[in-house]
Structure 1
Amino acid sequence: MGLSALLLLADGRFPAGGHAHSGGAEAAVRAGRVRDTASMAAFLTGRLHTTGLVSAALAAAAAAGQDAGRLDAAAEARTPSPALRATSRRLGRQLLRAARAAWPHPGLDRLAAEFPRGAHQSVALGTAALAAALTPAQAATAAAHESVNGPATACVRLLGLDPYEVAAALARLAPQLDAVAEAAVAAALCGDPDALPAASAPLLDVYAEQHHSWKVRLFAS
């Protein structure tokens, strides 16, 4: 159900602000850890199984109608970097604005009222999925997809990578993405925000703080 809505929500052209963010790729490129398609694929794999899993579980829980306030607190606790917390809320606010225009729903209105400065992006994504009549599994898939697709697109711009090779790398990552989404849903349906995955990616936190201090950068994060 809701396949068209899922495609719209996962589309990089959906006006949720994600195109302005690299998901840590810009800092990883400057550090020399991402320099070609192979190292990009390794970066995306690590991101998928850490922050991607966490975001997918939070989105699935929100799409299942679980308490958004508790989920937002869980997202806050799983985001050590102040820069990443600010970015997540900024993206959540933008996503919520777009979702309220596309799928008017009381849940979106409540989330906007409870978090006027923005709920965490994963919670906003899951609530948008709920408003669009998507399932928790579809919300998890959208979150997992976003965790790798945005950084991959950024790498094309940052390194001038062959977009065909980047698309092939994403295609090879698809089975892992599906597995992460499945694990995220299983964790989310337990119903306890405290028991959601808390996989960490310390380098992403470090990169976020470094990137925030740069005077010149191509992406917002």
Structure 2
Amino acid sequence: MPILRAAALLLADGRLPTGGHAHSGGVETAVATGAVRTLADLREYCRGRLHAAGCTAAGLAAAAAGGLDLTRLDAEADARCPSPTLRATSRRLGRHLLRTARHLWWSDRLAAAAETPHGPHQPVALGCLAFAAGLGPHDAALIAALDSITPPAAAAVRLLGLDPFAVHGMLARLSGEADDVAGRVAGPAAAGELPSRSAPLLDYYAEHHDTMEVRLFAS
């Protein structure tokens, strides 16, 4: 069993100032369209997001932490994100993460990521930061997997007025699946075999979100 390190806990902390609190992971659109109304709906939404976008993000983060070429990873991340809005959001969050990284750990690899045109994708930046913190591909994958479900869960509490204790109970029940996703993709991704799980509805939600006249979140 991998050793849990304090640096990993810090990077997984939702209070880390990376700009993620301003994004709903698509759940704001899901709520607006009626797809997510209850805690049970939210559980299935987060589960689907974990095994699709979360799996892909975990692989990219693990590959970045494992030292794979950043130019290749940037292209791989673009290819796995057909929504222009989601690509822009991912890069925006990547730039926010690099700004935070300058106050935590810094490295030549993070500096190279900062040179990516328009900024690195968020999971790539996360993997580079994990490496700078002395963490490995599995740590990076697990943090990315968790990050795929915690923002929409937190957003749903605000959007639907759900009981935060019940929402965190739901996250706890999904934590084993997050472990499984990270454990499954970390090794192959670090060796260059990247997952490519898609969720077309998330792409639709991202594009639809831009057309909403009233919205609480940036995405």
TM-score (norm 1): 0.95
Secondary structure of 2:207's aligned partner: helix
Match of 2:187 in 1: 186
Gap regions ≥5 residues in structure 1: none
* Cα distance in structure 1, aligned partners of 2:121 and 2:168: 28
Structure 1 segments of 4+ aligned residues over 4 angstroms from their partners: none
TM-score (norm 2): 0.96
Identify the match of residue 201 of structure 2 among 192, 200, 203: 203
Give the deviation of 1:39 after TM superposition: 0.5
Counterpart contact for 1:41–1:169, Cα < 8 Å: yes
Give the deviation of 1:174 after TM superposition: 1.0
Gap regions ≥5 residues in structure 2: none
* Cα distance in structure 1, aligned partners of 2:96 and 2:137: 21
Counterpart contact for 2:65–2:190, Cα < 8 Å: no
Match of 1:126 in 2: 127
Counterpart contact for 1:64–1:136, Cα < 8 Å: yes
Q: In the alignment, is residue 166 of structure 1 matched against residue 167 of structure 2?
A: yes
Q: Deviations over 1:70-114 (max 9, x none)?
A: 111100000000000000000000001101221021111111123
Q: Root-mean-square deviation (CA), in Å?
A: 1.1
* Cα distance in structure 1, aligned partners of 2:75 and 2:103: 26
Give the deviation of 1:2 after TM superposition: 7.1
* Cα distance in structure 2, aligned partners of 1:113 and 1:178: 32
Query: What fraction of aligned residue pairs are identical, expressed as a percent?
Result: 56
Matches within 5 A, 1:1-221: 3-115=5-117, 117-191=118-192, 195-221=193-219
How many residues were matched structurally? 217
Secondary structure of 1:213's aligned partner: coil
Q: Deviations over 1:110-149 (max 9, x none)?
A: 111233x211001000001001111110000000000001
Structure with greater helix percent: 1
AA aligned opposite 1:160: G
Counterpart contact for 1:2–1:132, Cα < 8 Å: no
